Structure 1
Amino acid sequence: MKVSIYSIFLLLVVTSGYAQQKTSPKKTSEDYKMFAYGVTTNTNSGLLGGFVVRHSQAVGTFKGNLMHRYIALEAVNLKHPKEKAEPTSIANRYIFGKRNYFFSLRPEYGRELVFFKKHGDDGIGISLIVAGGPSIGLQKPYYIKYDKNGRGAIEIVQYDPNIHKEINKIQGSAGIWQEFFKGMTINPGLHVKLAANIDMNTFGNSLTGFEIGITSEVFSKTPEIMSTQLTTNARFYNSGYLTIYFGNRKQKTK
């Protein structure tokens, strides 16, 4: 994992540095900027892994290919591979052993190199994205509904399998929005990503496309997603991801 994140970071530095040396300041008819938003899924999340807002703008050329400045913000939910929803006695569900949710906010900056330009409303465009930046890890308590006395007096408490051992008293998860900011802690980190971008059919200034790639991420300390009494948690995360986005494109003013 360490080799992966440092290798991609090195590629980002080399590519960005060389691009600045070779970027032409001259504007062309192909100069444009794009703003888009979308949803993402990755191998460290469920089907809906998070949300993305991205912006790219032509800044010149690199070895004859159009070069864009790439800026994005991702918000993703990182899950432990051993998370498993269990039924309760009243047919609700909860995740056995889960202590916290863990979200990652990822501001990103990088370069997008266009290999195949899209022409008009037909065809596709293909580009390579190399980007990275800080990661803001947000650890939020995982709350459950717990009938402490077994008499229907439900309490909302952070789940701890060492305390809440009587499974028949667990009435299910309290939900991700329960006291959302209460007890939340910040865990800073870094991330880098390498991706292929597919620009699909457009109509007028509208566009649809997707990114498919890999992300490597490391945090300053190991988050506790699952109880450490039951399993180990990771500090490094490598994942494959797919993002589907929608947006619009317009020419830069000269």
Structure 2
Amino acid sequence: MRNLYPFGLSLLALLGAASAAQAQVSEDPSYRKEFTYGINFNTRGGLIGGVAVRSTRVLDEKWSRFWGVEGVEVKHPKEQRVLNQNSGGSFVFGKSNYLFVLRPSYGMQRVIFRKAPESGVQVNALVGAGPSIGLLMPYYIYYDYTVRENRPGAPIQEDIRSEQYDPAVNSADSRILDRAPIFSGANETKARIGGHLRGALSFEYGRYRDAVAGIETGFLFELYPKELTILRAPNISDATLNTNFFPSVYLTLYIGHRS
């Protein structure tokens, strides 16, 4: 029992020192607003998922509220790029639509660990939600409809068309020459409304009070009333191949300023 007294006194001293240190860095922040913008990477996107902007207002030493907008491209997990050896063009076989999503968000953020004024890392936990505006834009391809006769010297009248992929018509992948320009079907874009929920941790860096840089990483769940058709395939229904639920893990690199 006697050996426990020194241990207890040491523990109380450590707790007191930790409380004092926390009180020292838990003062009200010197800023009230924060604006950040960044690049998003996620498990549903490509090399770069999209971009994000956010405005945060400090409520007290622990809590802040924020609103933001995120724009990303969502891809189907079964997308595979194919190279046409004859034309040199590349395309995603079976892709019928691009899916771009705008996500306005509103949420709350809590400081888990506040950094010292001029150094260190601040850790925040946040949760947010909002509508998801899905934009289905047709994926256009160059398809070769040329009829080639099996006799020497027969004239060839080339017939190459730019159109949205349709498995009932464009099933011969060897006749797909290339992907058409990305905005070829922009005038046929259709909007679909859903919703999303996110939870994340952010790690803020920065040596100055008026500047901020950091990393945010977390999960996002997105749901639509009906499935969104990205890929299509012969003899498989669109509902079987596609989904209306898009869970993902994301990471955002951001910078910004405070005032």
TM range (shorter): 0.7 to 0.9
**C-alpha deviations, 1:200-251, integer Å up to 9, x for none?**
124452221111000001012110001154451011111100001111112x
Q: What is the letter of the counterpart of residue 32 of structure 2?
A: Y
Aligned to 2:115: 118
Offset of 1:147 from its aligned partner? 2.4
195-204 vs 241-250, greater mean Cα deviation: 195-204
* Unaligned residue ranges in structure 1 (runs of 5+): 1-26
Q: Which 4+ runs in 1 deviate beyond 6 A? A: none
Aligned to 2:255: 246
Would you say 1:206 and 2:211 are equivalent positions? yes
Would you say 1:145 and 2:150 are equivalent positions? no
Aligned to 2:17: none
Offset of 1:152 from its aligned partner? 4.3
Would you say 1:48 and 2:48 are equivalent positions? yes
Aligned to 1:170: 176
- Paired with 2:72 and 2:30, the residues of 1 have a C-alpha distance of 33
The root-mean-square deviation of aligned C-alpha atoms, in Å, is 1.9
Do the aligned residues in 2 keep the contact of 1:34 with 1:249 (CA within 8 Å)? Answer: yes
**C-alpha deviations, 1:78-103, integer Å up to 9, x for none?**
11111000011212110011110111
34-43 vs 165-174, greater mean Cα deviation: 165-174
| Equivalent of 1:92 in 89, 92, 97 | 89
Other structure's SS at 1:90 match: coil
Do the aligned residues in 2 keep the contact of 1:147 with 1:169 (CA within 8 Å)? Answer: yes
TM-score, structure 2 normalization: 0.79
* Aligned pairs, number: 219
User: Where do 1:1-254 residues align within 5 Å?
Assistant: 28-61=28-61, 66-88=62-84, 89-149=86-146, 151-180=157-186, 182-203=187-208, 205-227=210-232, 229=234, 230=236, 232-250=241-259
- Paired with 1:166 and 1:144, the residues of 2 have a C-alpha distance of 12
Offset of 1:28 from its aligned partner? 4.1
* Unaligned residue ranges in structure 2 (runs of 5+): 1-26, 148-156
Q: What is the letter of the counterpart of residue 235 of structure 1?
A: N
- Paired with 1:127 and 1:29, the residues of 2 have a C-alpha distance of 14
Offset of 1:179 from its aligned partner? 3.6
The change in CA–CA distance for 1:172 and 1:202 in structure 2 (over 3 A counts) is: farther
80-89 vs 153-162, greater mean Cα deviation: 153-162
Other structure's SS at 2:247 match: strand
Question: How much identity, in percent, do the aligned residues show?
Answer: 34
TM-score, structure 1 normalization: 0.81
